[in-house]
C-alpha cells in the first residue's frame, strides 16, 4: 500500500442509497474516502411513511453512517453541511469554513419535496423526506383525532377527521392506505365522543391515474384496493389552493384540518454549487458516464441528476437507480486508477413496488406481476431483506407481525420539537 497522503482521494457527499453503494463498491480500491452528510444517519426512505403513520419507530429505519463504515479504516465520516464546491482547487466547502480536498468527487445529495412555486403551502401541507418530517406528520395525524374528541361543533369535527393527501405517487398511495388503517383499526374503540373509523381519507391527484409509473392494470388495481380500504380517490384534479384547513381543486373545496403533500420533488442545490445545467426540478444534466459536463472527475448520481436509461426514458428517482449510479461511479474510478476504460452508465430497471395498506401490494418485475397478499408478503420480505443489520430486520419483522396480528401500532407518540414547544 502506498503512503496514505499519496493515495487517490474520493469524497462522497451524501450517505443515502447512492453514496453508500459507491463506498461499498470502492472496497479494496487504493483510495482514501471521505463521506460528508449533514445528518448523522443513513435513512431507509421507502419506509419513512410507516414512521409518519406510527407503525415503525425512527431508529428502526435509520443507522449512523459512521457505524456502517466502522470496519473500513480508509473511510472517514464527517457531519457537515456542504455549501459549495471549488472545482479549480478541488475542494468541497463546508458551512463552518471547513475545506475537504478531493481527487474524485461523487455527489449523491438527493432531493426534497417541492411545491411547484407554491412554497406558501408548505406550512399547511407538509411533505415527507426526513425523520423530523415523519415525527411531525405523526404528531399532526394523532393530534387531529385528539382535537376531534374534544370538539363539539359537528362541522369542525368533520374537518378534523378529514385527511387530504395531495399526490398519488407511491408516497401518497402508501400514506393514504396507512392513514385509513390507523383510523379504522388501530384507533378503534379508543375514543368516547368520536368514531375514528369514520375519518375520511381523500387522495387527490392531478393526473389521470394513481401510481402513474406503473402499468395501467396495476394502477387500476391500486385504485380499487385503496377504495376497498375506504380511501376516496380523486383523479384529474390539479390542486389550485391550499390553506390551513382547505384544499381547492377544480371549483371544489374540501375542508380538511390535516393536509399532506406528496406531489413533487426538487433536487438538492448541487447544480448551483457546480454552476451546472439543470432541468426544471433542479436535476443536473450529467454525461452518459454520470460525470458533470466539463468536470470528468465529478460524478453526480441518484435523485439529484437527470439521465436517460437505455430505453430512452429518464432513469426514475428511486433508491435502486441511486444504488446503480453509485456502483457505476465507483467502478469508473477504479477503472481509471487501473488505466482501463468503462462504457456508459446503463440503468437496469428491476421493477416497481408499492403497497396499499396491510394486505395488498403491487409488484411489477416486468416478467412477473404480483398483487394481493402474495404481493404484500413479497413486499414485506423484500423490505426486511434490504434493511441494514440483523437487529433492525428482527425489530421491523416483529413490529409488522404485531400490527398484522393485533392491529396495535407501536410508535403512536405525539412528540414535539424540543425547543420552544411549550409542551414539556
Contact pick of 14, 80, 282, 357 for its own copies (by CB under 8 A): 80
Contact stretch for its own copies (CB under 8 A) within 6-14, 77-85, 177-185, 251-259: 77-85
The active-site residue out of 60, 151, 174, 205 is 174
213 binds its own copies (CB under 8 A): no
The residue within the footprint of its own copies, chosen from 7, 24, 57, 382 (CB under 8 A), is: 57
400 binds its own copies (CB under 8 A): no
Q: Is 115 in the site for its own copies (CB under 8 A)?
A: no
CB nearer its own copies, residue 134 or residue 231: 134
Binding mask 22-41 for its own copies (x = CB under 8 A): ----------------xxxx
Residue 264 lies near its own copies (rule: CB under 8 A): no
Q: Which one, 147 or 220, has the nearer CB to its own copies?
A: 147
Q: Pick from 86, 120, 150, 335: which binds its own copies (CB under 8 A)?
A: 150
Q: With contacts defined by CB under 8 A, how many residues of the chain interact with its own copies? A: 63
With b meaning 16 or more CB within 10 Å and e meaning fewer, what string describes 364-391?
Answer: beeeebbbeeebbebbbeebeeebeeee
| Of 129 and 285, CB closest to its own copies | 129
Q: Does 397 bind its own copies (CB under 8 A)?
A: no
Q: Which residue number, 94 or 298, has a Cβ lying nearer to its own copies? A: 94
Would you count residue 395 as binding its own copies (CB under 8 A)? yes
Range 375-394, binding its own copies (CB under 8 A): 389, 391-392, 394
Residue 136 is a binding residue for its own copies (CB under 8 A): yes
Give the residue, chosen from 131, 281, 309, 384, that forms a contact with its own copies under the rule CB under 8 A: 131
Q: Is 423 in the site for its own copies (CB under 8 A)?
A: yes
Binding letters toward its own copies, positions 161-200, x by CB under 8 A: ----------------------------xxxx--------
Does residue 59 interact with its own copies by CB under 8 A?
yes
Q: According to CB under 8 A, which one of 25, 50, 60, 319 is a site residue for its own copies?
A: 60
| Minimum distance, C-beta of residue 106 to its own copies, in the bound complex (Å) | 19
Applying CB under 8 A, among 251, 312, 339, 420 the residue interacting with its own copies is 420
Of 44, 5, 8, the C-alpha closest to 338 is: 8
Residues making up the chain, counted from first to last: 424
Residue 308 to residue 191: CA distance in whole angstroms: 52
Name the packing angle between helices 170-181 and 216-229 (round to 10°).
Answer: 20
Question: Please, which of residues 92-111 interact with its own copies by CB under 8 A?
Answer: 96, 98
* Residue (of 56, 129, 66, 110) closest to 384 by Cα position: 56
SS3 assignment for the chain = CCCHHHCEEEEEECCCHHHHHHHHHCCCCCEEEEEEECCCEEECHHHHHHHHCCCCCHHHCEEEHHHHCCCCCCEEEEECCEEEEECCCCEEEECCCCEEECCEEEECCCEEECCCCCHHHCCCCCCCCCHHHHHHHHHHHHHHHHHHHHCCCHHHHHHHCEEEEECCCHHHHHHHHHHHHHHHHHCCCCCCCCCHHHCEEEEECCCCCCCCCCCHHHHHHHHHHHHHHCCEEECCCCEEEECCCEEEECCEEEECCEEEECCCEEECCHHHHHCCCECCCCCEECCCCCEECCEEEEEECHHHEECECCCCCECCCCHHHHHHHHHHHHHHHHHHHCCCCCCCCCCCCCCEEEEECCCEEEEECCCCEECHHHHHHHHHHHHHHHCCCHHHHHHHHHHHHHHHHHCCCCCCCCCCCCCCCCCC
Q: Which is nearer to its own copies, 368 or 419 (CB)?
A: 419
Q: Which three cell numbers stand for residue 45?
A: 426512505
| By the rule CB under 8 A, 418 interacts with its own copies | yes
Give the one residue of 2, 71, 117, 312 binding its own copies; rule: CB under 8 A.
Answer: 71
Alpha carbon distance 286, 172 (integer Å): 29
Q: C-beta of 69: minimal distance to its own copies in Å?
A: 8
Q: Is 174 a catalytic residue?
A: yes
Q: How far is the CB of 173 from its own copies (least distance, A)?
A: 24
**Which residues are known catalytic residues?**
174
Q: Kindly list the residues in this chain that would bind its own copies in the complex (CB under 8 A).
A: 38-41, 57-60, 62-64, 66-67, 70-71, 73, 76-80, 96, 98, 112, 129-133, 135-136, 142-143, 146, 149-150, 189-192, 389, 391-392, 394-395, 398-399, 402, 408, 410-421, 423-424
Amino acid at each position: 500500500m502506498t503512503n496514505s497522503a499519496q493515495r487517490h482521494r474520493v469524497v462522497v457527499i451524501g450517505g443515502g442509497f447512492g453514496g453508500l453503494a459507491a463506498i461499498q463498491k470502492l472496497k479494496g480500491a487504493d483510495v482514501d474516502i471521505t463521506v460528508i452528510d449533514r445528518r448523522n444517519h443513513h435513512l431507509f426512505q421507502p419506509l419513512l411513511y410507516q414512521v409518519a403513520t406510527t407503525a415503525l419507530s425512527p431508529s428502526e429505519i435509520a443507522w449512523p453512517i459512521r457505524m456502517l463504515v466502522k470496519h473500513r479504516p480508509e473511510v472517514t465520516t464527517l457531519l457537515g453541511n456542504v455549501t459549495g464546491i471549488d472545482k479549480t482547487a478541488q475542494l468541497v466547502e463546508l458551512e463552518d469554513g471547513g475545506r475537504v480536498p478531493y481527487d474524485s468527487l461523487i455527489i449523491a445529495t438527493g432531493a426534497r419535496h417541492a411545491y411547484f412555486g407554491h412554497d406558501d403551502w408548505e406550512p399547511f401541507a407538509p411533505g415527507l423526506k426526513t425523520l423530523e418530517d415523519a415525527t411531525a406528520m405523526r404528531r399532526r395525524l394523532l393530534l387531529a383525532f385528539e382535537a376531534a374528541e374534544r370538539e363539539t361543533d359537528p362541522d369542525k369535527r368533520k374537518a378534523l377527521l378529514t385527511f387530504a393527501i395531495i399526490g398519488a405517487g407511491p408516497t401518497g398511495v402508501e400514506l393514504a392506505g396507512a392513514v385509513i388503517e390507523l383510523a379504522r383499526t388501530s384507533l378503534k374503540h379508543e375514543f368516547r365522543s368520536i368514531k375514528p373509523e369514520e375519518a375520511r381519507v381523500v387522495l387527490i391527484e392531478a393526473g389521470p391515474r394513481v401510481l402513474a409509473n406503473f402499468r395501467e392494470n396495476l394502477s387500476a388495481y391500486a385504485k380499487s384496493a385503496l377504495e376497498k380500504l375506504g380511501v376516496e380517490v380523486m383523479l384529474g384534479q390539479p390542486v389550485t389552493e391550499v390553506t390551513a384547513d382547505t384544499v381547492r381543486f377544480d371549483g371544489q373545496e374540501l375542508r380538511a384540518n390535516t393536509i399532506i403533500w406528496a406531489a413533487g420533488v426538487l433536487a438538492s442545490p448541487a447544480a448551483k454549487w457546480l454552476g451546472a445545467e439543470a432541468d426544471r426540478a433542479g436535476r443536473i444534466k450529467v454525461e452518459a458516464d454520470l460525470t458533470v459536463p466539463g468536470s470528468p472527475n465529478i460524478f453526480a448520481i441518484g435523485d439529484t441528476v437527470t439521465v436517460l436509461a437505455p430505453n430512452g426514458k429518464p432513469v426514475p428517482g428511486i433508491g435502486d437507480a441511486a444504488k446503480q449510479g453509485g456502483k457505476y461511479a465507483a467502478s469508473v474510478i477504479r477503472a481509471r486508477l487501473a488505466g482501463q476504460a468503462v462504457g456508459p452508465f446503463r440503468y437496469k430497471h428491476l421493477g416497481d413496488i408499492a403497497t396499499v395498506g396491510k394486505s395488498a401490494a403491487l409488484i411489477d418485475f416486468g416478467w412477473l406481476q404480483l398483487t394481493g397478499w402474495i404481493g404484500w408478503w413479497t413486499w414485506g420480505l423484500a423490505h426486511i431483506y434490504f434493511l441494514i443489520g440483523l437487529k433492525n430486520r428482527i425489530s421491523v419483522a416483529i413490529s409488522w407481525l404485531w400490527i398484522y396480528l393485533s392491529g396495535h401500532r407501536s410508535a403512536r407518540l405525539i412528540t414535539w420539537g424540543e425547543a420552544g414547544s411549550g409542551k414539556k
